[in-house]
Amino acid sequence: MATYQPTGRAFGRALRTAADLGISSNLSTRSAFWPIAGWRGAVKRAFDIVFALLGLIVLGVPMLVVVAIIRLETPGPALFRQRRIGFANVGFEMWKFRTMRQQTARPAGLLVQATRHDTRVTRFGAILRRTSFDEMPQLFNVLRGDMSLVGPRPHAPGTCAGGTPFELVTPHYPARHRVRPGVTGLAQVRGWRGETESEEKLLRRLECDLEYIATWSLWQDAVILVRTVAPVLAMHNAY
């Protein structure tokens, strides 16, 4: 299957591709639109289940400790649930450890991205965000089939880049939803994390997402998982 790897600012203004039209026209089920399908999809799913279970076994006790600290530090639930856009443009509820004060974690009718030195973040929440441990409840999303361990990170509906909704920045944006979203991804290990205050940042992430989809292999997933650990611990864009 032919692939398209966009580069430069022209990417953001280019015409729709067949892949985009396949997503937009009410979710065609033809296999050409779902690049990780058949036996490849089964292998990736088995990989996700095995390593998500291993992750929960290893991290189960630390996660329970995190739940207790969150509940002790500020009132409110330990888990934060937010609607995200998933595979085939179908929404799902993504889970994270709550890192913000309950009264400001969900502004009514307004989606506000976290920023560096965000005053809404609690002291313990800042530690969770710096280490990305707040993402660990997404292992349950992986077991539920909402997410994969590796893939494009899921975005919340209405998120903007430089004031422009993601889906209006480029017509290629829906193509990232041809696979399950991931707990981590190629864009993240290349340093494209944090808020998207410009369209350029979104386009660079999207290029990584589409490159991942076009070149997927189980080995690549394993490499991305290994590469995630060190950069996350030293990441300046995680806040």
pLDDT in tens, 166-188: 989 999 999 999 999 999 999 99
Confidence of residue 27 (pLDDT cuts 50, 70, 90): very low
What was the pLDDT predicted at 13?
A: 40
Question: According to the model, what pLDDT value does residue 18 have?
Answer: 35
Where are the alpha helices (H) located in the chain, listed in sequence order? Answer: 10-13, 18-24, 38-73, 123-131, 138-144, 166-169, 186-189, 199-214, 218-234
Digit-coded pLDDT (tens) for 65-100: 999 999 999 899 999 999 999 999 999 999 999 998
Which residues face 96 on adjacent strands? 80
Q: Given a cut of 80, is residue 237 above it in pLDDT? A: no
Taking the complete model, does pTM exceed 0.75, yes or no?
Answer: yes
